[in-house]
Structures are given as structure tokens and as C-alpha cells.
Amino acid sequence: MTRRVVVTGIGAVTPIGNSAVEFWNGLREGRNGIAEITLFDATDYRARIAGEVKDFTTEGVMEARDARRVDRYSQFAMVAAAEAIEDSGLDLEKLDMFRAGVVVGSGIGGINSFEEQHGRLLKGGPKRVSPFFIPQMIADIAAGHISIKYGFKGPNYATVSACATATHALGDAARLVKYGDADVMISGGAEATISPMAMAGFCSLQAVSTRNDDPTHASRPFDKERDGFVMGEGAGIVVLEELEHAKKRGATIYAEIGGIGFTADAHHITAPAPGGEGAVRAMKRCLEDGGFNPEDVQYINAHGTSTPFNDKSETAAIKTVFGDHAYNLNVSSTKSMTGHLLGAAGGIELLAGILAIKEGVVPPTINYEVPDPECDLNYTPNEAQEREVKVVVSNTFGFGGHNACMSFSKFE
């Protein structure tokens, strides 16, 4: 017998706000978080713009000494998790810690720590490398830190699947609750890749926008003049809980997790399969797993990276799955405001869908100015739209052909 899984707490660190409330207000307002890079000197880079987290602090969550020994991506995860746990109202003294766990992923992990310590190695030799280097760098350590801080002793691990990472983490965590391995799971994704090496790699790949003279209009999903994605950073974390466990303690329920669809393109290391074939199967599976018909869905939070091939193939995939109903949907890419958070994208985008359900508002795709004949759906252009939202699909697709989609709904 399977169990129902609900969301009872949310937390976010993003380029448009360092809490779930600030993030949502930014989405509703169509706030743009893209600007020139300040975290390092990007003068010689093809792309010199990104969605940086601003005014970030770990105060109240980590001691300054401890924070210095933790990579930036793990700091984001810790702060977002702290917000989600507080928001959930969980009484940790009464919680069965053996039935509570953490699945938080990162697509790249502690690349800032890797670059810093590699510099020390080249300059001063191996003895200059910090003993904290390995635990700072590894992609599972954010989940480990959250578990250690709060004492969660249930399932604890990370997922790594590029831009699908957070959705894989959330899907796994939901299933752990659904099938009885845990009653409470802290889950999502975190990423901090606005670094010299990461940006150089994406620039060489020619995957990022080079609209350096106009950063606020650089991320423009589904627009005909899109020229690549814009890097973002941050974290999105939620508390997933078994329904009766949540009801028993009188928790506020944001939404109910419906279904999960995980597939592979088995096609190319970076390009999507023709017609979005892998995305089609993932969306169909997440609807079937959740017990939804295509006509039940009102909103799709699209992967919508602002790259030429992704947006075209995702549009084709949506039309294949939803048929004529595709034109009744609201679709939007919140990456137009935050940039692409890579392994954290699915975390903050789940939040966007949850809050769309709660508030009855669909966040916009900003910078949508020049229609593309191959992208002809309602992308919620430039302004949020009020609409009753009962069922949402969130899409994330990663390099390597990884596809992860989730469906979730208003709690009834």
C-alpha cells in the first residue's frame, strides 16, 4: 500500500530573493536577477553576466568559522533547508529522527573549493591543500551537513544528473515517503557555479548567452532571439511529509506530490533528442504516475533554458503530450528571471509551481518579445497571470540525456 506525500515547508536562496517569500514576490513582479558578474573578474570571458545571489548570509544558521569550511553551494543548501524546516513547523524534539532523512543534490558540487585549493596546490605544493578540501567539494556533502545539523538519521544521499538533479532528488525523496522508508524528507538542490572554471567551460561549449551589453534581457526563453542560457546560483529545498503524519501535527499543506517521470534520451551528451522524445515519455509517465489526464493540468513550469534547441524541442514535446490542450495551458520559464541554476533548478521551480497553486497566479516568462513560429504556446509573456491552478507539471532536462518531470496538485 502506498502513502500520500505532501509539501509542508519551503525554503529558497535565489538571484531574486533569499527566502521563499522574496523569491515568489520576485516572480510575480517579473523581477530580473541577471547582471554583470561580480564574484570574479570576467573581463576576458565571452559571457560576463549571471544570476548571482546577492546579500547572502549564513547568520543564524551557521557560525562564521564553520561557514568558512563549507563550500558556497552547501551554504545555500543549509540556509534554504533551515527556512523550509522552520516553515514546516516540525517539532524536532518530538520527531522520530530514524524516520526523517535528506536527499539534496548538486549537479557540480563544490567547484569553488576545487578551484581555490587547486590554486594552493600549484602555488605551494600538496601540503598547502586544506584537510577540509574533499568534504568541501563532494556533491553529497550538503545533504550530509543538513543531516548532521538536525540529527536526521533516515535515508541520506545526493543525486547528480546535471540540470535534472533537484527533480531526481525530489522524486526519490517522495518515493521514500510514499513507500514507507521515511515519514519526513528534506529535499531539493543547491548549486554555486559562477566561478572562473565553470564559466570558462560553459563559454567554450557556446551554451551561454553573450548579450553582455544588455544583461536584463539576456535570458529570454522561447523568444526567437534567444542565444543561450544565463548561469544562476542558489538553492530550493522543501519538506516532504506523509499525509497522516502532517495532519496529525496540524501542519500547513502547500500541495500534494502526484507523480514522477524519469527517462533517458540515449541520444547525445548535450543536445535533446529530436522532437523532445525523452521529454515526452517523462511527462507522460509523471502524469500516469500521479493519476492525472493531460486535461487536468493548468500550468507547466518549463525547463525553458533560452537555448535554441531546448526551447523548440520542449515545445514540440508539450504539444505531443497534451495535444490540443497544449494551447489551453499556461507555460512559463522562471529561468527568464533567475537564470539557470543547473542542479538546483528543479528545486526552485517546484517552489514556483507550488506557490502558483497556493496563490492562483502563474509566474511569467519575461523578455518574451519576438514570437518564434516553432514556439507557439502561451508562455505567460512578461506579466504574471491570475488563474486557478490545480495541477502543475515541472520539467527538468539535463546534459547526458537525463529527463525528470514531476506532477503535483492542490491538496484536497
Q: CA-to-CA distance for 133 and 185, rounded, in angstroms? A: 28
Q: How confident is the model at residue 350 (pLDDT cuts 50, 70, 90)?
A: very high
Q: Which three cell numbers stand for residue 230?
A: 544565463
Q: Decide the pairing of beta strands 299-301 and 330-332.
A: parallel
Query: Helix, strand, coil proportions of the chain in percent (round to 5)?
Result: 40, 20, 40
In order of 98, 115, 130, 132, 216, the CA distances from 125 in angstroms are 43, 14, 11, 16, 42
Q: CA-to-CA distance for 255 and 270, rounded, in angstroms? A: 33
Residues with Cβ < 8 Å from 147, sequence gap 6 or more?
101, 102, 153, 156
Q: Which residues are catalytic?
A: 163, 303, 340
All structural domains of the chain: 5-248 (3.40.47.10), 259-409 (3.40.47.10)
- For residue 270, the model assigns a pLDDT of 87
In order of 71, 94, 339, 403, the CA distances from 157 in angstroms are 17, 23, 26, 20
pLDDT tens digits along 127-174 = 999 999 999 999 999 999 999 999 999 999 999 999 999 999 999 999
Q: How confident is the model at residue 316 (pLDDT cuts 50, 70, 90)?
A: very high
- For residue 216, the model assigns a pLDDT of 97
pLDDT tens digits along 266-284 = 999 988 888 899 999 999 9
How many residues belong to the chain? Answer: 412
In order of 46, 106, 215, the CA distances from 262 in angstroms are 34, 17, 33
Q: How confident is the model at residue 2 (pLDDT cuts 50, 70, 90)?
A: confident
pLDDT tens digits along 184-208 = 999 999 999 999 999 999 999 999 9
Q: CA-to-CA distance for 229 and 216, rounded, in angstroms? A: 13
- For residue 245, the model assigns a pLDDT of 98
Whole-prediction pTM: 0.97
